[in-house]
Chain A
Amino acid sequence: MQSLRVLFAAYLAVIGLGLAYFAVLALLGR
C-alpha cells in the first residue's frame, strides 16, 4: 500500500510541479 501512495503522489507531483513551472515561465514572459 505504501508503494501505491508513492506512485500516486509522484503523479500528482509531476502534474503540479510541471504546471507551476510552465506558469512561472509564462508570468515571467519568457
Chain B
Amino acid sequence: MRRFVHDNSLGLVFGGLFLASLLGQALAGHANFNDQQLADGLEQVGLLRYVTSSSFAVDVVENWQSEYLQFFLYIFGTVWLLQRGSPESKDLEKVGTETDEEQHVGAHARDDSPMWARVDGWRGAVFSRSLGIMMGSIFLLCWLVQSLAGWAAYNAEQLGQHEDPVSWAGYLGEADFWDRTFQNWQSEMLAVGSMAVLSIYLRQRGSPESKPVGAAHADTGETG
C-alpha cells in the first residue's frame, strides 16, 4: 500500500485535489446560485437540487473542456512548434514526428515496447497519436456537454424572467455560450505560453517541468 501511494502520488494527489475542489465548487456555487435567486425574487434551492442542475453542470464542464483543449493543443502543437530555451520544447532540430528509430516503433521497437508500437497499419498509427486523440476527444465531448448544459441553464433563466426559451442551435449563437467558452480558453492559452516562455529563464529544482538549475538559459528540451 505504501509502495502504491509512493509510486502513484502524482495521480492520487491531483485526483484528491480535484474531488476536494469540486466539492468546494458545489458548496460555493450553491450559495452563489441562491444569492442570485434571492435577487431575482425566486425561491431558494437545496444543495441536492443544485448539484443536479444544469447550472452546476455547465459551470463544471466549461472548465473541463478548456483544460482538455489546452492539453490537446499542447500535445499536438509541440510536435511541430518549438521554443528555444524551454524545457517544454523538444530539441530545435527534432521538429516533426521524428524517425521510427527515435520513437522505438516497428522494426525499432524494444523488448518492452507496447504491442501496438511494434505493428504497422492502423493500430500503429492510432497508438502513435492516442494521447492527443484522447485529449481531443474529451475536449469535444466536454464542449458538446457544455453547450447542452449551458442551453438548459440559459433557458431556465429565460423562463424565470418570463422570456422565450431558445433552441440548442440558437444557444450556440448566444453570447452566453461564447462568453463561457472564450473566458476559459484565454486563460489556458496564457498559461501554456507562460509555461513555455517563463521556463526559459526560471528554474524549479527537482521538477521535471523545469530545466536543471544549472542549465544554460539557451538550452532547449532539457528537463531535470
Contacts and interface: CB of A to CB of B under 8 A. Distances in A.
A23 interface: yes
Contacts of A3: 4, 7-8
Given A30-B52, A30-B54, A25 B142 contact: no
B57 A25 contact: yes
B151 A26 contact: yes
Contacts of B151: 26
Contacts of B11: 7, 11
Contacts of A29: 54, 152, 155-156
B145 A26 contact: yes
B147 to A, nearest CB: 9
B69 interface: no
Interface string A7-30: 100110011001101110111111
A26 B152 contact: yes
A21 B52 CA distance: 9
B15 interface: yes
B53 A30 contact: yes
Interface residues of B, number: 26
B82 interface: no
Contacts of B155: 29
B149 A22 contact: yes
Contacts of A21: 57
B7 A27 contact: no
Given A19-B64, A25-B53, A26-B151, 9 more contacts: A3-B7, A11-B11, A21-B57, A22-B57, A25-B149, A26-B54, A26-B58, A27-B148, A29-B155
Interface of A: 3-4, 7, 10-11, 14-15, 18-19, 21-23, 25-30
